[in-house]
């Protein structure tokens, strides 16, 4: 230790001087350790050069250097295991440790101090020079902690054992034993069964290793088990080993016989002869067996061989009597022990009965208006059904009906299964009124049997108005000349009707603007009705109806002006008169026209003809026809006469003849406002006005003659109690009235014509008022009736009758229907007087099964009283609707192992006809040829039949029918038979190599990777998926395993040269198979050669010998093979270039061809062409400059012919690689050629100092992108202002570093595994790639220690080398349906390791291993008896199912 102190020294003369004194430290302290003893624990798997302990010490002396050394150990072996850093005191491991070899190392560490020079000899001792050394010692104890570095090992492997089939559950079979060299938890062993434990038949004690029976054994199913038992230690990272255990299931000597099947089944024909073989029953036992039939052998129909167990027929069988037998077979061994089994014998029906018609004659009727497919009815309005029966059963009793006569097949069809007759075309009563044909029937048995005789069928056609009237032409045209007159006939339309006795009704439906025309409804004559403001043209739509059908036609009417014509009438108009009631034929006028040629005839016509007038066609004489006229009906007539010329029909003129009918007094007075009733009080006063009667006379009146009509009472007034006003007809009371004597009067009042004495009489009923105090009363409180829905319109339903206790008009009753909201009254009418109710519309039971009417009876009182009654009418259903299935397609699945009688499904149907809802009959029509299924004809339930085969087809397409006896409907039942999913999809190869031409178009087929699965049904249906994302972007796979491209691929793209496709094949049950397809892209010549430089320059002395290399032209081609073989050629415009130089076609070296002397200072510029050897070659050219100089011109010369460097890819930018210089007498500048490819410095990754030639890194390197660089360095100098160039090649290798992480081909992975599969099942293979090279690119797989579920490590394992993920235990979807497993990919870098994680999502596919269960044993519900259907919810049924997959939880409910 060295110290300095400052002292002040005072001199006598008061002067002060500073004195510095240095104190020199001496080594007088011993170094001290921080601890008296060091104890440390080190795991035995600690690698070499790992720091174990930091030994620290202090020394109070200054500036002394402490030195540590290992002095000794209790075991010399320990000194080799550790090393101590002398300067820092850090203790390191020197070699690997082993807890099992040496558990503790005891070391002695010495510490001493060096003041000057410390010299270490080979014995790690220290000495100093001339200065004493202080030492110290400390003990270091290193405990080697055990790690789990030893896997367990089985003492005796493989193991084998035997177990009796009758062994009880829990019985021990054998014990396996494993040991572990580790200690503690690392040596504690847990046993488990890894695989081979089919159906979990065995279990192993996890501690003792004892294998016991876990389930009942059955040798018939499996008599040998090969178990893989795993022994795992409990280390932090458990290690394990496996052993094979072979267990044979044997039979005990004292065990009862065991049949090979719990139930046997057989099928024999009912026609089989006695002695025919039925089946063989077998049982196993250690001694011989005796067989016998114990029960079920009805009528001793069968016998069994007591020794062999062969069952044979003993007596004749009859399917119709006993269709099946259930035999109980007993086997007894020599020890007297017996066992029973069941033999189900099903008889196969033979077709030995022909169909028989229930009757020989069938008669029906149908309206000719019935639509196609209408059912023919009987006279009782029920469908006509041809019926037959067959004594056979099942398929043999199914009947097919056929119409025999070909002509009848044009009109009718018979339902092949029900026998209902229907029309297939429209019928016409006018063409054929009766059809007679026959129907034959046969069954579907083999051979087919027909009835002995066919049935006779007669169908009567009922006539209806079914033909529409037709106009004689579609368009009529007519013209009208104006002026014209009312009733002038314009045109007459004609119509016909194919129906007989058709009556027509004509009318104008459209176009009659202003009602200018009218049409006679009976004869179709259109005439003028209104002559004012006629338009020039009218287009009328006329309609003709026969009461049901109608038709229309068009009538085009042109209105023309009657212009100037040569013809003229002698008068503008004519007038005439005729006497009323005259029968005389009278000439009214002679119509004369002028303007015609001499002797040219004129023709006269009446335009508005009337049967009472006629005109001579040539003379124009207008006269009456003798038909009397009635002035009161029509007093005047305007007759329009037309005259035309023979040769000019267009020269037409009209004239009006006005005719007046002269009146004759020929009418008697006529009373109006009839009838006459009066109601008066019986105490009416004298003079009381009763009422007025009125009469009129149609004859013309003459005011000068006075009143024409006078009124008198002619009869009924015996007591002179009434009077009538002579002129007005007003009746009065003139004497008191007596109700008891005369409650009513009937007066006869006369109206007399005062001129002629003609008279008329009328009754006047006078009723003394009786108060209307009684309403009508119906004879019944309510009425009920029923009527068939087939009844025609106008059919009588019933009659209602009411009575009234009043008198007179008060008791007169009329009936009417009361309109209600339901509009039931629209379907019926009622006769007002009689009360008879009739149908007004066709009825439909399905639409309105019952109707309620309210009928009202009204009396004649004032005010009137009424009473209502309810009439209930039920519409009787007619079978006019076919039953309908609730679905057209039923899809069900059934396990192939389902027993006979197992319920499959229930088809349901409904019939709109209520009367047929209980008559529906179901049957299987086709698809059940092997009779695997049976159907309940009443309920529609389908079950596995007793005739099912041991092995069912994977798919059945059943056609089922439902019939109501007339109509039939069909539906389809698709039954998918599901077999057990025993097999995984398997590819023929695990690895494929396939070549694909680059640039192939999208959709190109790469290959067909077809997997197979031996399972049937959905478990044999395979779908394919591409796992890795990169391949999934490039390719797609279809359901046939055909892999096609999704995009065009480029081989020159490094990542596309070889593309692995990880393919999964998955069956319908979730089991999978894997393969890898390596797609190698083959080359297409799609790249031209690329030169490494933009141009080439060279300088050469003229005295070089011939053949001297001048320059090397280098090009590369990204293609491969012949497409990348490059050939060089010189292309020059001047001949001297090829005279002096040539190029090697393969190497690209340009050499001198001749002596160059005399060519000094010449510069040759030419091109070199590089062309590849592809089928369609590609090429490139580059400029080359060669300068020839004299020998004395100094040319730069590089020291080396070429340079090679190796650098790491992590070299920093700016690093100087080397200094490359050329020797030259002149100053030199350096240029690094920039090529056309990455390897030739296209991206200027490297640069060179122009003056010094220092080669430096300009940009970052990436070994994965470019592993080699081939550079060209130019050295340029000048001689006499001319450029002189030399070049050299530089090769730079980029050394790889571990700078890339592994990359998983997919993240996340998606996998499916079926629950309950044994341990060791492969789940999926994960793959990761690392772009680095060597060990840096090698990948090791492991499970992520940090998982979502802690139990993942116990359920799954992954292969570190292959990446295969497998199960360690059976999985249960009901516990966990999906696992997300973290996997790691770690590279094997020397210094640093990169880790990448990915997720594997494993979906556990459900197996339908749990049946649905009702939540209650009994459900109760209530419904009111008057609730209309549907009545709503009665009860809610619920079930539970332990399965988790929805498809396995779906429940179908059936009412059985």
Residue 1452 is predicted with a pLDDT of: 74
Contacts 24+ apart (CB under 8 A), 593-600: 593/567, 593/568, 593/569, 593/620, 593/643, 593/653, 594/567, 594/568, 594/569, 594/570, 595/565, 595/566, 595/567, 595/568, 596/566, 596/567, 596/645, 600/645, 600/646, 600/647
pLDDT in tens, 164-203: 888 889 999 999 999 998 888 888 999 988 766 766 789 9
Residue 27 is predicted with a pLDDT of: 67
**Mean pLDDT value across residues 786-810:** 83
**Mean pLDDT value across residues 991-1004:** 90
Residue 793 is predicted with a pLDDT of: 73
**Mean pLDDT value across residues 142-163:** 88
Residue 121 is predicted with a pLDDT of: 35
Greater pLDDT, 401 or 770? 401
Task: Tell me the backbone φ, ψ of residue 733, rounded to 5 degrees.
Answer: -90, 130
Tokens 């920039």 correspond to 1234
Sign for the CA dihedral angle at 348, 353, 359, 361 comes to: positive
pLDDT in tens, 1384-1397: 998 877 667 789 99
Residue 4 is predicted with a pLDDT of: 47
Tokens 């009796």 correspond to 164
75 pLDDT band, cuts 50/70/90, is confident
948 contacts: CB under 8 Å, gap ≥ 6: 900, 930, 931, 932, 933
Whether residue 16 has pLDDT greater than 70: no
What percentage of the chain's residues is helix, strand, coil (to nearest 5)?
5, 45, 50
pLDDT in tens, 1135-1174: 888 889 999 999 999 999 888 888 888 889 999 999 999 8
Quote the tokens at residue 685: 């006063």
**Mean pLDDT value across residues 1210-1236:** 88
Query: Which H helix or E strand runs over 227?
Result: strand 224-233
Of the ranges 473-477, 940-944, 1335-1339, which one carries the lowest mean pLDDT score?
A: 1335-1339
Greater pLDDT, 1171 or 707? 1171
Percent of the chain with pLDDT over 70: 94
125 pLDDT band, cuts 50/70/90, is very low
Quote the tokens at residue 1045: 């491209």
**Mean pLDDT value across residues 930-959:** 84
- Per DSSP, 1144 falls in state -
pLDDT in tens, 1295-1347: 888 888 999 988 888 888 888 887 778 888 898 988 888 888 888 888 888 88
Residue 2 is predicted with a pLDDT of: 42
Whether residue 1119 has pLDDT greater than 70: yes
d(CA 806, CA 792): 39
Whether residue 697 has pLDDT greater than 70: yes
Residue 635 is predicted with a pLDDT of: 85
Residue 126 is predicted with a pLDDT of: 32
Residue 1431 is predicted with a pLDDT of: 67
Going from the C-alpha of 680 to that of each of 653, 672, 692, 1282, the distances in angstroms are 67, 21, 14, 157
d(CA 325, CA 313): 12
740 pLDDT band, cuts 50/70/90, is low
d(CA 516, CA 505): 20
**Mean pLDDT value across residues 424-450:** 90
- CB-side exposure of 894: number of CA atoms within 13 Å? 27
Residue 506 is predicted with a pLDDT of: 93
Residue 131 is predicted with a pLDDT of: 47
297 pLDDT band, cuts 50/70/90, is very high
Asked if 1002 contacts 918 with a C-beta cutoff of 8 angstroms, the reply is: no
Task: Tell me the backbone φ, ψ of residue 949, rounded to 5 degrees.
Answer: -85, 160
For the CA atoms of 1341, 1345, 1349, 1353, what is the dihedral angle to 10 degrees?
60
Quote the tokens at residue 451: 């009835």
Quote the tokens at residue 633: 């009906």
3-state secondary structure (DSSP) of residue 240: strand
Quote the tokens at residue 484: 């014209």
Quote the tokens at residue 1177: 């070659």
Residue 544, Cβ density class (10 Å: 0-12 exposed, 13-18 middle, ≥19 buried): buried
Quote the tokens at residue 449: 């049997």
What distance, in Å, lies between the first and last C-alpha atoms of the chain? 111
Residue 174 is predicted with a pLDDT of: 93
1030 pLDDT band, cuts 50/70/90, is confident
Whether residue 521 has pLDDT greater than 70: yes
Residue 813 is predicted with a pLDDT of: 92
Taking CA 878 as the corner, what is the angle to CA 872 and CA 879, rounded to the nearest 5 degrees? 145
d(CA 1280, CA 1284): 10
Quote the tokens at residue 946: 């007793």
**Mean pLDDT value across residues 333-341:** 90
Mean pLDDT of the chain: 85
d(CA 769, CA 688): 14
3-state secondary structure (DSSP) of residue 846: coil
Which one, of 244, 239, 243, 245, lies nearest residue 189 by Cα? 239
Whether residue 114 has pLDDT greater than 60: no
913 contacts: CB under 8 Å, gap ≥ 6: 845, 846, 877, 878, 879, 880, 881, 964
Residue 393, Cβ density class (10 Å: 0-12 exposed, 13-18 middle, ≥19 buried): middle
Greater pLDDT, 1126 or 930? 1126
Whether residue 1244 has pLDDT greater than 50: yes
Whether residue 986 has pLDDT greater than 70: yes
d(CA 486, CA 608): 8
3-state secondary structure (DSSP) of residue 1336: helix
Residue 80 is predicted with a pLDDT of: 87
Residue 1255 is predicted with a pLDDT of: 92
Going from the C-alpha of 963 to that of each of 423, 920, 922, 1094, the distances in angstroms are 19, 6, 7, 92
Whether residue 9 has pLDDT greater than 60: no
Taking CA 520 as the corner, what is the angle to CA 516 and CA 522, rounded to the nearest 5 degrees? 160
3-state secondary structure (DSSP) of residue 187: helix
Whether residue 318 has pLDDT greater than 70: yes
Whether residue 452 has pLDDT greater than 70: yes
- Per DSSP, 95 falls in state S
- Per DSSP, 986 falls in state B
Q: What is the CA radius of gyration of the chain?
A: 62
983 pLDDT band, cuts 50/70/90, is confident
* Cis before 969? omega within 30: no
1126 contacts: CB under 8 Å, gap ≥ 6: 1089, 1115, 1116, 1117, 1146, 1148, 1170, 1171, 1172, 1173
């Amino acid at each position: 230790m060295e110290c300095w102190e400052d002292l002040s020294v005072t001199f006598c003369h008061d002067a002060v001087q500073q004195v510095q004194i240095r104190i020199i430290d001496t080594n007088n302290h011993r170094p001290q350790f921080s601890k008296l003893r060091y104890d440390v624990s080190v795991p035995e798997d600690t690698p070499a050069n790992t720091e174990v302990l930091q030994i620290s010490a202090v020394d109070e002396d200054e500036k002394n250097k402490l030195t540590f050394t290992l002095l000794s150990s209790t075991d010399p072996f320990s000194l080799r295991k550790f090393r101590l850093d002398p300067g820092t005191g850090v203790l390191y491991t020197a070699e690997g440790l082993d807890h099992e070899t040496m558990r503790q190392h005891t070391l002695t560490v010495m510490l001493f101090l060096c003041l000057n020079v410390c010299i270490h000899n080979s014995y790690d001792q220290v000495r100093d020079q001339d200065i004493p050394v202080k030492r110290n010692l400390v003990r270091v104890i290193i405990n080697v902690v055990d790690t789990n570095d030893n896997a367990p090992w089985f003492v005796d492997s493989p193991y084998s054992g035997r177990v009796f089939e009758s062994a009880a559950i829990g019985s021990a079979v054998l014990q396996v034993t494993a040991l572990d060299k580790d200690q503690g938890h690392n040596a504690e062993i847990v046993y488990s069964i890894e695989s081979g434990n089919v159906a979990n038949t065995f279990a192993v004690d996890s501690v003792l290793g004892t294998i016991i029976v876990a389930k009942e054994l059955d040798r018939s199913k499996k008599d040998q088990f090969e178990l893989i038992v795993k022994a795992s230690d409990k280390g932090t990272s458990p290690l394990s080993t496996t052993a094979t255990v072979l267990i044979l299931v044997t039979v005990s000597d004292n065990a009862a016989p065991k049949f090979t099947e719990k139930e046997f089944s057989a099928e024999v024909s009912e026609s089989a002869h006695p002695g025919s073989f039925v089946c063989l029953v077998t049982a196993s036992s250690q001694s011989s067996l005796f067989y016998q039939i114990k029960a079920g052998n009805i009528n001793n129909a069968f016998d069994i061989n007591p020794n062999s167990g062969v069952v044979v027929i003993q007596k004749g069988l009859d399917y119709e009597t006993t269709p099946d037998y259930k035999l109980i077979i007993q086997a007894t061994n020599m020890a007297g022990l017996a066992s029973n089994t069941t033999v189900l014998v099903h008889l196969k029906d033979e077709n030995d009965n022909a169909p028989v018609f229930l009757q020989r004659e069938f008669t029906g009727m149908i309206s000719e208006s019935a639509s196609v497919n209408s059912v023919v009815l009987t006279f009782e309005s029920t469908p006509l059904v041809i019926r037959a029966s067959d004594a056979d059963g099942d398929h043999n009793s199914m009947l097919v009906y056929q119409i025999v006569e070909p002509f009848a097949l044009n009109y009718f069809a018979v339902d092949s299964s029900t026998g209902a007759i229907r029309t297939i075309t429209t019928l016409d009563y006018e063409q054929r009124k009766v059809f007679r044909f026959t129907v034959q029937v046969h069954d579907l048995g083999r051979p087919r049997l027909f009835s002995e005789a066919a049935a006779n069928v007669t169908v009567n056609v009922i006539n209806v108005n079914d033909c529409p009237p037709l106009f004689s032409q579609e368009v009529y045209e007519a013209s009208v000349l104006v002026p014209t007159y009312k009733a002038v006939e314009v045109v007459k339309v004609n119509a016909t009707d194919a129906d007989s006795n058709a009556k027509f009704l004509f009318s104008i439906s459209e176009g009659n603007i202003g009602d200018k025309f009218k049409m006679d409804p009976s004869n179709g004559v259109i005439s003028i009705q209104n002559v004012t403001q006629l338009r020039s043209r009218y287009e009328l739509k006329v309609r003709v109806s026969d009461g049901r059908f109608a038709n229309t036609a068009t009538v085009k009417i042109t209105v023309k002006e009657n212009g100037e014509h040569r013809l003229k009438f002698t008068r503008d108009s004519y007038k005439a008169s005729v006497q009323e009631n005259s029968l005389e034929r009278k000439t009214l006028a002679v119509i004369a026209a002028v303007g015609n040629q001499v002797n040219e005839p004129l023709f006269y016509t009446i335009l508005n003809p009337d049967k009472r007038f006629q005109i001579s066609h040539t003379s124009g004489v207008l006269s009456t026809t003798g038909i009397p006229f009635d002035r009161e009906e029509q007093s005047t007539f305007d007759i329009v006469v037309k005259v035309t010329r023979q040769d000019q029909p267009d020269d037409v003129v009209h004239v009006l003849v006005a005719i007046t009918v002269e009146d004759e007094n020929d009418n008697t007075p006529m009373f109006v406002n009839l009838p006459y009733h009066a109601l008066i009080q019986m105490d009416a006063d004298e003079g009381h006005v009763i009422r007025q009667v009125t009469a009129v006379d149609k004859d013309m009146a003459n005011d000068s003659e006075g009143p024409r009509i006078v009124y008198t009472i002619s009869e009924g007034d015996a007591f002179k109690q009434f009077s009538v006003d002579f002129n007005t007809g007003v009746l009065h009371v003139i004497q008191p009235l007596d109700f008891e004597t005369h409650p009513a009067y009937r007066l006869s009042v006369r109206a007399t014509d005062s001129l002629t004495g003609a008279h008329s009489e009328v009754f006047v009923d006078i009723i003394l008022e009786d108060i209307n105090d009684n309403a009508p009363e119906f004879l019944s409180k309510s009425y009920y009736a029923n009527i068939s829905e087939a009844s025609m319109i106008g059919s009588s339903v019933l009659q209602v009758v009411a009575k009234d206790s009043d008198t007179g008009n008060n008791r007169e009753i009329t009936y009417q229907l009361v309109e209600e909201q339901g509009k039931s009254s629209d379907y019926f009418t009622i006769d007002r007087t009689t009360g008879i109710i009739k149908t007004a519309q066709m009825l439909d039971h399905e639409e309105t099964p019952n109707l309620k009417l309210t009928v009202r009876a009204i009396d004649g009182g004032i005010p009137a009283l009424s009473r209502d009654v309810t009439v209930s009418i039920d519409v009787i259903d007619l079978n006019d609707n076919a039953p309908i299935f609730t679905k057209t397609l039923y899809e069900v699945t059934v396990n192939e192992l389902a027993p006979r009688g197992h319920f499959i499904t229930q088809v349901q149907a409904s019939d709109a006809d209520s009367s047929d809802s209980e008559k529906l009959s179901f049957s299987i029509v086709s698809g059940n040829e092997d009779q695997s299924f049976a159907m309940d004809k009443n309920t529609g339930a389908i079950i596995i039949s007793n005739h099912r085969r041991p092995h069912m087809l994977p798919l059945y397409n059943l056609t089922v029918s439902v019939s109501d006896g007339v109509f039939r409907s069909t539906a389809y039942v698709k039954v998918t038979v599901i077999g057990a999913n025993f097999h995984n999809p398997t590819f023929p190869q695990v690895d494929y190599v396939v070549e694909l031409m680059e640039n192939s178009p999208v959709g190109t087929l790469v290959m067909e990777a077809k997997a197979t699965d031996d399972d049937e049904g959905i478990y044999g249906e395979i779908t394919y998926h591409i796992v890795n994302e990169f391949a999934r972007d490039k390719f797609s796979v279809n359901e046939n395993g055909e892999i096609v491209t999704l995009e065009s691929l480029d081989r020159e793209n490094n990542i596309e040269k070889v593309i692995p496709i990880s393919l999964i094949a998955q069956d319908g049950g979730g089991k999978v198979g894997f393969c890898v397809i390596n797609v190698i892209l083959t080359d297409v010549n799609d790249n031209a050669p690329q030169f490494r430089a933009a141009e080439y320059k060279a300088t050469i002395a003229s005295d070089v010998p011939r053949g001297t290399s001048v320059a090397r032209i280098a090009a590369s081609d990204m293609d491969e093979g012949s497409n990348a073989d490059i050939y060089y050629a010189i292309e020059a415009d001047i001949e001297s270039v090829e005279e002096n130089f040539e190029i090697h076609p393969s190497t690209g070296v340009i050499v001198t061809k001749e002596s160059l002397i005399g060519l000094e200072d010449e510069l040759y510029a030419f091109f070199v062409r590089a062309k590849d050897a592809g089928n369609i070659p590609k090429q490139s050219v580059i400029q080359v400059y060669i300068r020839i100089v004299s020998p004395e011109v100094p040319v730069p010369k590089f020291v080396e012919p070429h340079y090679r460097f190796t650098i790491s890819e992590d070299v920093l930018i700016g690093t100087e690689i080397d200094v490359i210089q050329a020797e030259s007498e002149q100053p030199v500048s350096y240029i690094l050629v920039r090529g056309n490819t990455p390897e030739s410095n296209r991206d200027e990754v490297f640069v060179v100092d122009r003056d010094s030639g220092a080669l430096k890194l300009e940009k970052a390197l990436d070994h994965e992108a470019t592993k080699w660089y081939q550079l060209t360095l130019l050295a340029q100098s000048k001689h006499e202002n001319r450029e002189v160039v030399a070049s050299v090649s530089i090769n730079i290798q980029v050394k790889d570093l571990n700078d890339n992480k592994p990359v998983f081909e997919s993240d996340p992975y998606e996998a499916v595994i079926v629950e309950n599969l044994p341990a060791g099942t492969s789940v999926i293979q994960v793959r990761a790639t690392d772009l680095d090279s060597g060990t840096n690119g090698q990948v090791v797989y492991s499970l992520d220690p940090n998982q979502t579920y802690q139990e993942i490590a116990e359920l799954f394992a992954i292969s570190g080398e292959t990446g295969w993920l497998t199960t360690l235990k059976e999985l249960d979807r009901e516990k966990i349906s999906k696992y997300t497993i973290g996997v790691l990919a770690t590279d094997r870098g020397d210094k640093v390791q990169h880790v990448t994680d990915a997720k594997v999502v494993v979906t556990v596919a459900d197996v339908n291993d749990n049946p649905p269960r009702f939540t209650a044993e009994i459900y109760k519900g209530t419904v009111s008896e008057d609730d209309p259907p549907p009545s709503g919810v009665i009860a809610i049924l619920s079930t539970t199912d332990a399965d988790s997959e929805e498809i396995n939880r779906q429940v179908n409910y059936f009412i059985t």
